[in-house]
Amino acid sequence: GCFVFKPSPKKKRMSQKAAIDFRERNNESEDAELRFVTCQSLWNQIKSETEQIQEDLNKQLFDNLVGFLRRSHSERQQKTTEWTCQMKSREIPTAALVLGVNVTDHDLTFKSLSEVLQNNITPYIALLEAKYCAGIKNLMQKLMGQLMNCYIDVDSLEDEDYVHISQNRIRCSMTSLISWYESVTKKIDSETPSKKRTSSSRHWQSPPVVVIFKDMESFTTKVLQDFIVICSQHIRELPLVLIFGIATSPMIIHSLLPHSVSSLLCIELFQSLSCKEHLSTIIDKLLLTAQFPFKLGGKVLQVLINIFLYHDFSVQNFIKGYQLCIVEHFYSQPLSVLCCQLVDAKKRVNSLSHDQCENIRRLPSFRRYVERQVSEKQIALLTADSCLKETTQKLLEDLHVYHENYISVLRCLHVFTSSLPKYPLGKQIRELHCACLEDQVWETEEYESSLQLARMLSKSDLVTMLQQCVEIFVSSSGKEFDKTVEKLKEFLTQFQKLEAEAFQERDVSVSSQKELQKKTDLYHLQKTLLELKESRRSKKLTKFEMLRFEVVDYIDSLVRNYLVPADHKTLHEIVYFNTASVLREHLNAAPRIALHTALNNPYCYLKNQALKSDGGGISNKAPDICIVYRLHLECGRLINLADWLEAFSTVVMAAEGPNADAASSDEVDDIIHARFIRAVSELELLGFIKPSKQKTDHVARLTWGGC
Amino acid sequence: MPNLEHPAYPAATLLQLESLVPCRESQVSMLLSIFGERQQFSFPSIFIYGHTSSGKTYVMQTLLKTLQLPHVFVNCVEYFTSRLLLEEILFQLQSCSSGTVQNSHMSCDTLNDFVRLFKQAVESQELQDQTLYIVLDRAEQLREMEANILPAFLRLQELTDRNVTVVLLSEIVWELFRPNIGCFEPFTLYFPDYSIGHLQKILSQNHPPEYSADFYAAYINILLGVFYMVCRDLKELQHLAALNFSKYCEPVVRGEANERDTRKLWKNIEPHLKKAMQTVYLREISSTQWERLQHDDGEPSQLKGLSAHTHVELPYYSKFLLIAAYLASYNPVRTDKRFFLKHHGKIRKTNFMKKHEK
């Protein structure tokens, strides 16, 4: 993997304290408490939904793995007497699990994997990470520690004596592991069946010991080799199974292990779903559904998707970003109290305070709406709260209906655009979704060209697409689509009719062809050919072509009706989160620029009035490192330390003013000298300079220009 | 062919031993003459080396077991620290002759302790009148341990003043072991590689009970014809032989050919073995998958090997960052500014560039 491992973030529990934070910023009247509760319940819903999705997506992979583990074990037990089995060398069954480069997501996968294995196959699972296994000794320690603890987890507290053996006292060797395994399996055997029926029926009598290498690429070759060699010596006594977690490609096994070692393994490959497909599913289930009231605006969604595609491929980070959007929305938008299920929202509208009503009146989309009304209505909306509440309820309902319709029509349009050559509107539905949120999609060039392409679709394609659309509309929750479905079905029957007619027509055309083939003189032939050509040129569109135009026009009208961008809708601010800049600030950090600002303009972070620089001068009140940094910006590639020190002392001495002038001789004060050296070494630590061997008493600058 | 002869051991045992170690008779008789009789002191340390799977471990194990000589057998890879190694030797020593495993866990941190405990263990177990053999497999690992371990093992007889012989097994020559400070020179013995004739003989020895020895020998002949060029590892060959034998028997089982129909059988098995060389032998697909394929009569092409999945998907920027880093690693440091900065100023013509313009 090529990613930085972030230290696992301590889940910041949104506790009561957070609720208080919500309240402090915005005053009590804006329903901070309610917003907080809504936010939390919404996030919990979404979280469980994503977990469910992930479970479903991994199911296939895990099922395969479980099957593999079962097989690897049972074959070993059944036919030990057979000739081939005696002759064959016992290989260690190994699963190569290719998980993709998004290493940050692997933890979760392994966690659920070990859960699945624990439930289905064996209680003996060890998860090894390269950073804790620098040598074979550490690896064995970790392995044995995990295995012997897991035994305690499974059995109840009866085996006190096992608990008390501290890790240091156990000899870290395979022999002690084997004797442990024997004692454990024997114990399970000897236990009365009635007592432990459930657990022993889940696992076999001698369940395999599964060792998972989480990040196989990071292990040193020697450790892996030694471990495999040791294991292969004892495979008869200890049914080991290895699982290699691989981020890049399975070829890495062969490049890490020499043939003499890899020949001890019996490797089978398992591949997880690609993370892009994973993301598509998440977007499909989280964003393109009317289930959740909260929506992402076009720009915000674009930011999240870009981070995924351009930076990390991590679905977890995508979900984290989504969570951030939710929290930010509920925190910053007072009206987000209405961002809940429609029924609740209507109730909440009734109990809105006057301030909140004013908030609604201030919404730009609402103002636009008011301007469109007749003057009496305008006055009523702007002055009477009750009238406003009534209208708000209606508008919210409109918005809800809009969402339901939007999703169905979007899917329908995607059916059409995803099969066009070159995909003018994008291959994935998320691209189409972004385009529709961004602007009125029918005004874009891409839409125009895709319509043109759609007008050239073949009949069979059109028919299958129409059938798909019918399915989408039938299964959608929107109520307005009965007519649409009818219309689409009508198209379909017309196509069928055409087919029947086409048979007859073909007969006609065949007959005319036959006429041509008849013996004629040259003149007649020329004449008939000309006629044919003429008729073809001026020929009116065939019935099929007419119908095709009709279908495309109909789809176009659907798009124009239903795929209006969200920010044209009144009250969209309540449910749409649109401040992409906040998100970018949080997720796309720019450390270089931040560092430069901090050093160049310390006021920006320290907020000390004395530091407020006017013009380009260097304040002597600034921290030493800032002064040194500012001075070094003026130098070239090599910096003379003596000159630098002198400049530094000049700047610092300016503080003391004219009375210090007398004292400042050629000698630089020791304290200033020390301060300078400390500041310079800090700069070196930050990577701005490094000692140079080209000239004595010079350091080399490692950055160019002033950012 | 030298028949094994030694006055100290019964002829029947020797005959049995000879049948167990084909093609290694000369080495075994050499070892026997060094060992001498049970109570005689033998050479203090013996160093045996030879290529992978030239029978070092197997010969030592069978020799010691068949003749029922008291011995300790330790793999140095498995006991990776000196402490583990010494403790394991003592542990095996305790259990080897007395038969009852004592639970008392002794800790042995240094060689000094080891020598003391070793003497105790030997004395308590009436081994004084027999030579005790300590075999250290994969002895090259000893070089990684403390500097005193290897020299001490080489002269363990002298240090403990007991009848003990240390046998070191390794794949590399003694010259690579010799410490700078010098040490006791062990008796070195070389195990040469098995020739193709040897391999043929050894592999044909274990034929399956359902088929005649000649039939199996013919199969081994074909197998070696295909694999001998790439693989001389006995273990691996045996594994491959077992994997593919059922396919070889197929025509016989179906009744299309009899056991003597060598040509037909060859035609049947040869492409199959070639395929095996490209897949199973390289561990592209695992042996269980290979067996399943044979069983279902499927084409191996359905199963993609490990190397078929070489494509790695990377995020957009990561991809370009990698490429850029790779390219930049070929640039001199001074040119970074020119290549990566937008406004890097004028490019001065260097002498190098001028030279090329001419």
Where do the domains of chain A lie? 21-76+88-152+206-273, 278-503+541-577, 591-658+667-701
Distance in angstroms (rounded) separating the CA atoms of residues B232 and B227: 8
B77 and A249 within 8 Å at the Cβ level: the answer is no
Query: pLDDT tens digits, residue range B212-224?
Result: 888 888 889 988 9
A174 and B209 within 8 Å at the Cβ level: the answer is no
Q: What is the pLDDT of residue A11?
A: 36
Q: What is the pLDDT of residue A10?
A: 37
Average the pLDDT over B67-93 and give the result: 87
CB of A363 closer than 8 Å to CB of A573 = yes
Is 90 exceeded by the pLDDT of residue A108? no
Average the pLDDT over B180-185 and give the result: 85
Choose among A83, A88, A267: nearest Cβ to B208.
Answer: A83
Give the pLDDT band of residue A21 (cuts 50, 70, 90): low
For residue A455, how many other CB atoms are within 10 A of its CB? 13
Give the pLDDT band of residue B135 (cuts 50, 70, 90): very high
Give the pLDDT band of residue A662 (cuts 50, 70, 90): very low
Contact residues, chain A, for B109 at CB < 8 Å: none
Was domain A21-76+88-152+206-273 assigned CATH 3.90.650.10? Answer: no
B241 burial via Cβ count (<10 Å: 0-12, 13-18, 19+)? buried
Give the pLDDT band of residue A304 (cuts 50, 70, 90): very high
Inform me whether the C-beta atom of residue B33 falls under 8 Å from chain A C-beta atoms.
Answer: no
Distance in angstroms (rounded) separating the CA atoms of residues A584 and A321: 10
A705 and B341 within 8 Å at the Cβ level: the answer is yes
Distance in angstroms (rounded) separating the CA atoms of residues A297 and B55: 72
Inform me whether the C-beta atom of residue B235 falls under 8 Å from chain A C-beta atoms.
Answer: yes
Inform me whether the C-beta atom of residue B80 falls under 8 Å from chain A C-beta atoms.
Answer: yes
Q: What is the pLDDT of residue B61?
A: 92
Topology at the third CATH level for domain B11-190: Rossmann fold (3.40.50)
The pair of three-digit structure tokens given for residue B258, joined into one six-digit string: 């009899």
Phi/psi of residue A240, each to 5°?
-90, 145
Contact residues, chain A, for B290 at CB < 8 Å: none
Q: What is the pLDDT of residue A633?
A: 86
Is 60 exceeded by the pLDDT of residue A158? no
Least confident interval from A34-48, A497-511, A654-668, B305-319: A654-668
Choose among B75, B235, B309: nearest Cβ to A98.
Answer: B309
Give the pLDDT band of residue A677 (cuts 50, 70, 90): very high
Is 80 exceeded by the pLDDT of residue A659? no
Is 80 exceeded by the pLDDT of residue A541? no
Share of chain A above pLDDT 90, in %: 14
Residue B133's identity, in one-letter code, is Y
Q: What is the pLDDT of residue A283?
A: 92
CB of B191 closer than 8 Å to CB of B56 = yes
The pair of three-digit structure tokens given for residue A667, joined into one six-digit string: 């000698």
B240 burial via Cβ count (<10 Å: 0-12, 13-18, 19+)? buried
Q: What is the pLDDT of residue B280?
A: 78
Inform me whether the C-beta atom of residue A508 falls under 8 Å from chain B C-beta atoms.
Answer: no
Residue predicted with more confidence, A161 or A351: A351
- Give residue limits of the domains in chain B: 11-190, 196-308
Could you tell me which residues come within 8 angstroms of residue A592 by beta carbon, excluding any fewer than 6 positions away? A707
Least confident interval from A41-55, A196-210, B171-185: A196-210
Is 90 exceeded by the pLDDT of residue A86? no
Terminal Cα distance for chain B, rounded = 77
Kindly state the helix (H) or strand (E) to which residue B187 belongs, with its residue range. strand B187-191
Could you tell me which residues come within 8 angstroms of residue A60 by beta carbon, excluding any fewer than 6 positions away? A273
Inform me whether the C-beta atom of residue B315 falls under 8 Å from chain A C-beta atoms.
Answer: yes
Q: What is the pLDDT of residue A170?
A: 58
Is 90 exceeded by the pLDDT of residue A680? yes
Q: What is the pLDDT of residue A62?
A: 92
Average the pLDDT over A332-338 and give the result: 87
Inform me whether the C-beta atom of residue B312 falls under 8 Å from chain A C-beta atoms.
Answer: yes
Least confident interval from A171-180, A471-480, B299-308: B299-308
Which residue in A605, A606, A632, A607 sits closest to A618, CA to CA? A632
Inform me whether the C-beta atom of residue B75 falls under 8 Å from chain A C-beta atoms.
Answer: yes
Q: What is the pLDDT of residue A323?
A: 93
Contact residues, chain A, for B313 at CB < 8 Å: 100-101, 274-276, 313
Inform me whether the C-beta atom of residue A702 falls under 8 Å from chain B C-beta atoms.
Answer: no
Phi/psi of residue A121, each to 5°?
-115, -60
CB of A94 closer than 8 Å to CB of A240 = no
CA distance to partner chain A, nearest, from residue B309 (Å)? 6
Q: What is the pLDDT of residue A423?
A: 85
Q: What is the pLDDT of residue A48?
A: 93
Inform me whether the C-beta atom of residue A396 falls under 8 Å from chain B C-beta atoms.
Answer: no
Mean pLDDT score of chain B: 83
Residue predicted with more confidence, A421 or B304: A421
Q: What is the pLDDT of residue A2?
A: 38
Mutate: best of B140, B248, B280, B286, partner A, most A CBs <10 A: B286
Average the pLDDT over A250-270 and give the result: 87
What is the chain A residue with the closest CA to B81?
A137
Q: What ipTM did this prediction achieve? A: 0.87
Q: What is the pLDDT of residue A308?
A: 92
Distance in angstroms (rounded) separating the CA atoms of residues A235 and A218: 25
Q: How far apart, in Å, are the Cα atoms of A351 and each of A341, A506, A571?
A: 16, 70, 18
A311 and B318 within 8 Å at the Cβ level: the answer is yes
What is the chain A residue with the closest CA to B92?
A175
Choose among B79, B239, B344: nearest Cβ to A173.
Answer: B79
Contact residues, chain A, for B231 at CB < 8 Å: none
Average the pLDDT over A540-560 and give the result: 84
Please tell me whether residue A269 adopts helix, strand or coil conformation. strand
A310 and B316 within 8 Å at the Cβ level: the answer is yes
Per-residue DSSP letter, A420? S
Contact residues, chain B, for A71 at CB < 8 Å: 288
Distance in angstroms (rounded) separating the CA atoms of residues A92 and B64: 28
Q: What is the pLDDT of residue A685?
A: 92
Inform me whether the C-beta atom of residue B88 falls under 8 Å from chain A C-beta atoms.
Answer: yes
Where are the alpha helices (H) located in A88-220, listed in sequence order? 106-120, 136-154, 160-164, 174-190, 197-202
Q: What is the pLDDT of residue A540?
A: 63
Choose among A75, A230, A248: nearest Cβ to B312.
Answer: A248
Inform me whether the C-beta atom of residue A283 falls under 8 Å from chain B C-beta atoms.
Answer: no
Kindly state the helix (H) or strand (E) to which residue A576 belongs, with its residue range. strand A576-577
Please spell the DSSP secondary structure of A68-97, one letter per residue.
HHHHHHHHHHH-SSSHHHHHS--PEEEEEE
Distance in angstroms (rounded) separating the CA atoms of residues B193 and B196: 9
A251 and B307 within 8 Å at the Cβ level: the answer is yes
Which residue in A432, A437, A398, A399 sits closest to A415, CA to CA? A432
Kindly state the helix (H) or strand (E) to which residue A668 belongs, with its residue range. none
A253 and B306 within 8 Å at the Cβ level: the answer is yes
Choose among B309, B312, B337: nearest Cβ to A269.
Answer: B309
Selected residues 303-342 of chain A with any CB under 8 Å from a CB in chain B: 308-313
Give the pLDDT band of residue A324 (cuts 50, 70, 90): very high
Contact residues, chain B, for A83 at CB < 8 Å: 208-210, 242
Long-range own/partner contacts, residues A414-421 (CB < 8 A, 24 or more apart): A415/A465, A415/A468, A415/A469, A415/A472, A416/A450, A416/A454, A416/A465, A416/A555, A417/A450, A417/A454, A419/A457, A419/A461, A419/A465, A420/A450, A420/A453, A420/A454, A421/A453
Rg over CA atoms, chain A: 36
B242 and A309 within 8 Å at the Cβ level: the answer is no
Is 70 exceeded by the pLDDT of residue A392? yes
Choose among A83, A230, A312: nearest Cβ to B315.
Answer: A312
Q: What is the pLDDT of residue A237?
A: 84
CB of A337 closer than 8 Å to CB of A348 = yes
Terminal Cα distance for chain A, rounded = 30
The strand pair at A240-246 and A92-98 is best described as parallel
Sign of CA dihedral A190, A195, A201, A203: negative
The pair of three-digit structure tokens given for residue B41, joined into one six-digit string: 């002191």
Q: What is the pLDDT of residue A481?
A: 81
Residue at token pair 């005193």: B148
Per-residue DSSP letter, A622? S
Inform me whether the C-beta atom of residue A83 falls under 8 Å from chain B C-beta atoms.
Answer: yes
The strand pair at B45-50 and B164-170 is best described as parallel
Give the number of residues written for chain A: 707
Contact residues, chain A, for B242 at CB < 8 Å: 83-84, 87-88
Name the strands in the sheet holding A698-701, side by side, starting at the edge strand that comes first in the sequence.
Answer: A638-640, A698-701, A689-691
Distance in angstroms (rounded) separating the CA atoms of residues A551 and A487: 10
Is 70 exceeded by the pLDDT of residue A17? no
Query: pLDDT tens digits, residue range B9-62?
Result: 888 888 888 888 888 888 898 998 888 888 888 899 999 999 888 889 999 999
Counting one residue from chain A and one from chain B, the pairs whose CB atoms sit within 8 A come to 124
Residue predicted with more confidence, B252 or A227: A227
Q: How far apart, in Å, are the Cα atoms of A146 and each of A127, A177, A210, A236, A303?
A: 8, 11, 11, 22, 41
Average the pLDDT over A505-514 and give the result: 59
What is the chain A residue with the closest CA to B289?
A268
Is 90 exceeded by the pLDDT of residue A141? no
Q: What is the pLDDT of residue A352?
A: 86
Contact residues, chain A, for B239 at CB < 8 Å: 87-89
The pair of three-digit structure tokens given for residue A613, joined into one six-digit string: 């620089």
Residue at token pair 């000309």: A530
A251 and B310 within 8 Å at the Cβ level: the answer is yes
Kindly state the helix (H) or strand (E) to which residue A509 belongs, with its residue range. helix A482-517
Query: pLDDT tens digits, residue range A198-221?
Result: 444 445 567 888 999 998 888 999
Average the pLDDT over A93-120 and give the result: 87
Distance in angstroms (rounded) separating the CA atoms of residues A101 and A274: 10
Give the pLDDT band of residue A242 (cuts 50, 70, 90): very high
Q: What is the pLDDT of residue A213?
A: 92
Query: pLDDT tens digits, residue range B328-355?
Result: 888 887 777 777 777 766 666 555 555 5
Degrees, nearest 5: CA angle A544-A548-A554: 145
Give the pLDDT band of residue A160 (cuts 50, 70, 90): very low
Mean pLDDT score of chain A: 81
